[in-house]
Copies of this chain bind each other. A is one copy, B any other.
């Protein structure tokens, strides 16, 4: 099969990471162009990318380009999806697609109208350990699924500026866990109870957000899922997952930079978990692009759809309502939907 010619829209930290991954790790893709208001031509040259432009349209109009990676600021995702779909480009879009269900729905419709694929950047689904856990559940290794446990804690609270435009912790952070709950269980979320707190930094509370949460989900068929979130650990990026069922419990643990254990007078010392999502999900970031390019090449459906994004945003909305009203919220209630 032939190579897929690709453009990347957006060249911030994450856009540059995706561009570099395409060049180095996705041999089936040819990265032709990157667009960004702040494009750095030294950087594109270094990666051997022929076209560096400030104009997204140069990407959308290029007839050679078959697929685009959207990594612009979140607030512009839906508009860029629409434009790419019109231009007939297959689309991979960084999460969040949007904070409100209506916008995501419109993105889904645009992709359908354009006849293009639309994959969403829930990268964790491509992590080797998580993927194996999901397969084990699907194949019945844990028997009937009774529960999931997800620990997701960031190493360091984000800047208050980011907090203000993040859509709130449930939409920006917990959303990964809500998707993971659906992915691991293969089931939809029926009810959400979210207990939130400001325990890390009062400034986050002052900005109208929380930094700590315990979210309990009831999944279709009755299994319970608990999500444990914090914006700051001090000991690295804490990512742990468990699936518990009638036959046993499967556990995914943290990764560490080295395996060194130091047995010394006073204690045994090991490395803390990997410091951030960049290192932890390094392989997953590559695999999600490989999977997308593979689907573009052979026309098979993408593994993570905008419908998945929609389901996760709806659950995030329910979590917010639950927290604000301090009550469990069913997903089939008329929720208010979107982010702040």
Chain A interface category by residue count: 35 or more
* Interface residues in A203-218 (C-beta closer than 8 Å to B): 212-214, 216, 218
Contact between chains at B248 and A252 (CB < 8 Å): no
Q: How far, in Å, is A252 (CB) from chain B's closest CB?
A: 6
Once bound together, how far apart are the Cα atoms of A230 and B224, in whole Å?
11
The answer to the question of A162 belonging to the interface, with a C-beta cut-off of 8 Å to chain B, is: no
The interface residues of chain B lying within 8 Å CB-to-CB of A327 are 327-328
Q: How many copies does the complex hold?
A: 4
Contact (A46, B27) CB under 8 Å given A146-B200, A214-B216, A259-B253: yes
Return the contact of A254 from the options B253, B259, B270, B271 (Cβ within 8 A).
Answer: B259
Contact between chains at A224 and B253 (CB < 8 Å): no
Show 19 A/B contacts (Cβ-Cβ < 8 Å), sorted by A: A24-B24, A129-B259, A129-B260, A136-B262, A146-B199, A146-B212, A146-B230, A197-B223, A197-B224, A198-B222, A234-B248, A236-B263, A251-B261, A251-B262, A251-B263, A252-B258, A263-B273, A268-B272, A326-B328
Chain A residues in contact with chain B, CB under 8 A? 24-25, 27, 46, 48, 128-129, 132-133, 136, 141, 143-144, 146-147, 149, 151, 153, 193, 195, 197-200, 212-214, 216, 218, 222-224, 226, 228, 230, 232-236, 238, 244, 246-255, 257-273, 326-328
